[in-house]
Structure 1
């Protein structure tokens, strides 16, 4: 119990420390620094898509989910079980592709918008610092009551 409490309080203190540092240095975020960073080598859209597919296919959780859930929705008497499984599997994959693409485009647009203003960057840095301080305090005062 004492080790748990020590680790918990040390983690909470570290979160508060990081939050204070982020809040104190929020004015150092400059739009010019973000937009003038050295460019990374460009990746093609197809390469990025293939990387995402590889990651998605190799996550065991996804494979187990499809193996456990999809067979319940297959109508064996209709035949073409393999085709039914493929079509049922394509539905969540298609939904995920569309929603993840929209999230990525939205995040890119938000980053560009924030990066155009030093004031906006300062507000984001301050909000992030306050959030970490709040999380650290929450971790410190909540938990098991053994």
Structure 2
């Protein structure tokens, strides 16, 4: 029963991510640890190529294939986030429910935790007949106010 509790807890730190790997029986290889450490240090969404480049710049030799395979394994198990975009996938460190601010001019995706008022959620439930159990919101905007 303890395993069930651990595996459904949100992952909010590198330690949580490493623990989840162990609970799920995933080997925490040197490469997998490098990728998780980088995602938690970067605190932003990165492409597989950016992850590969940054790790190699840090002197942590890791192959393209290893990066892709580890990202796929980690995201398929819910340990990291994978965002599908028209120009490819981006990976981030937060796997629990959250929303995104998409910055149009910098092409960044920022994680934010938004809590909608209960009366607003009830209003949506009444309009749709669907009981809301979770939600995620995508915001779009410019960092440069001149662009808007």
Instruction: Name the TM-score class by shorter chain.
Output: under 0.3
**Bigger relative contact order (CA 8 A; separation at least 6):** 1
TM-score under structure 1 normalisation?
A: 0.26
Who wins on radius of gyration, i.e. which is larger? 1
More helix by share: 1
More strand by share: 2
TM-score under structure 2 normalisation?
A: 0.26
